[in-house]
Amino acid sequence: MRLGRVVGLATLLLSWGPTQSWAQAACASASGQAYQRVLAETWDMVGQRFYDPAMDGVDWARMLERYQPLACAASTDADLGATINAMLAELGASHTGYYAPDDPAYFQLLDIFLGGDRRGRLNRLFPNGRVSYPGIGVFTRAIEGRVFVTGVWDGAPGAKAGLMVGDEILAVDGAAFAPVGSFVGKVGRETALTLRRVAGGPILLLVVTPADIEPNQAFLDALKASVRMYAQNGTKIGYLRPWSYARPQIQAAIIETLSTGPLKDVDALILDLRDGWGGAQSDYINAFIPDGPLMTLRGRDQVLRYDSFRWQRPLVVLINGGTRSGKEYLAYAIQRHKLGRLVGERSAGALLAGSGFLLSNDALLEIAVAEVWVDGARLESVGVSPDIDVPFDIRYAGGKDPQLERALDILSKRGGD
């Protein structure tokens, strides 16, 4: 299988029941027994499909024995998810996790990586196979018990409301923040978001209008909305950010933006690969190899179209600990072949090929099913180091972005090393 078909979450399959019987620890409660069945189902699937038959040296049979009592003791679905993810973490592998419908990633992974005739099999969960969830278009992360915004999708409701990276979310309509639950039943309605932008500072109120987010379309829209141009020291610098790189439409939009779109005449480019989802295929690097063949087409409508495209001007790529999977492949290839400079922080070290499976309780299980090497290098658990390291503590950043600022300095020839 070509690397381009396995980078990121390559396929998503549906499974509705066990493939074998499992030993189940004694459990008195019916809910505990149900939780044990889901944990055992997960354990069985991973044991059959994980890329390493030796399970990376983990005694996988022992894991079932260890975690079944914890599943029995779980009192909520969230407890079960934490238990299963603790078991999966024993493998120390990326692209291996359990996702429930209270997590935006559940919907994003389903929509990003489920295509073709498989989409119709989701009718039981989503009308007409249309995957969506109520949200505002942000990534968040809990840091030391507080919830911070780590990414604001360009053009999404959060961005329109003025939400910034580094904002601490305190409450939504007076209740504790839940990434999906806070917005259920509120699509199209003004919603009160309370936050703190400065450490120890005043509590701010933002009014945001949640949307029914279809991830594929939302990520494509966010990419297009991210496009901007900076003019510094007489240099025109373009910027774009693919929040997900997992669909061919994303690469097509990037090429269109650079070849005939708003960034066609810039002198240099910043490609922001921080955070979000990977999924880039191996041939996407071709757009950044300057000496490849270039084919341009023009039909009866007299519109130029690029069958192939080559970026031939200076390039800086932004990376951080949220740069993962196919984005790491691109970053590594650009660095190794000296196609541009990497600025930011070491990437996630999460480059295995994964597949997804719907469990009997409708949760999504992602399993790493293949190892990946790039030019002979295994990036899993290693990551990609930037050429220029720029730390960025996002907490209470207040709109500041030192990594972007450094990239602009480099390309405007004011701060290059």
CATH number, domain containing residue 197? 2.30.42.10
Domain C-terminal end among 187, 213, 239: 213
pLDDT in tens, 61-77: 999 999 999 999 999 99
149 and 294, same domain (yes or no): no
Its domain, for residue 253, covers 215-351+369-391+399-411
231 and 260, same domain (yes or no): yes
181 and 322, same domain (yes or no): no
The answer to whether residues 167 and 158 touch, using CB atoms and an 8 Å cutoff, is no
pLDDT in tens, 313-336: 999 999 999 999 999 999 999 999
Question: Over 80: is that where the pLDDT of 2 sits?
Answer: no
**Predicted confidence band of residue 415 (pLDDT cuts 50, 70, 90):** very low
257 and 189, same domain (yes or no): no
Q: Residue 228's domain is classified under what CATH number?
A: 3.90.226.10
Strand order in the sheet with 146-152: 138-143, 146-152, 168-172, 191-196, 203-208
344 and 374, same domain (yes or no): yes
**Percentage of the chain modeled with pLDDT above 70:** 88
Average pLDDT, the chain: 90
Domain C-terminal end among 213, 238, 266: 213
Let me know if residue 307 belongs to a domain: yes
Let me know if residue 294 belongs to a domain: yes
pLDDT in tens, 129-162: 789 999 999 999 999 999 999 999 999 999 999 9
Let me know if residue 88 belongs to a domain: no
For the chain, the 3-state helix, strand and coil shares in percent, each to the nearest 5, are 30, 25, 45
**Predicted confidence band of residue 10 (pLDDT cuts 50, 70, 90):** very low
Q: What's the domain count of the chain? A: 2
264 and 161, same domain (yes or no): no
Let me know if residue 386 belongs to a domain: yes
207 and 252, same domain (yes or no): no
208 and 229, same domain (yes or no): no
247 and 163, same domain (yes or no): no
Let me know if residue 284 belongs to a domain: yes
318 and 234, same domain (yes or no): yes
246 and 305, same domain (yes or no): yes
User: Which residues are within 8 A (CB) of 317 and not within 5 positions of it... i.e. 6 or more apart?
Assistant: 270, 271, 272, 273, 330, 331, 334, 335, 340, 341, 342, 343
Let me know if residue 293 belongs to a domain: yes
Let me know if residue 264 belongs to a domain: yes
Q: Which residues of 278-307 are buried (b: 16+ CB within 10 A; e: fewer)?
A: bbbbbebbebbeeeeeeeeeeeeeeeeebe
The upper half-sphere exposure of residue 143, i.e. CA atoms within 13 Å in the direction of its Cβ, equals: 14
207 and 220, same domain (yes or no): no
Tokens of 143: 């840091």
Let me know if residue 298 belongs to a domain: yes
Domain C-terminal end among 186, 213, 240: 213
Q: Over range 347-371, report the average pLDDT.
A: 94
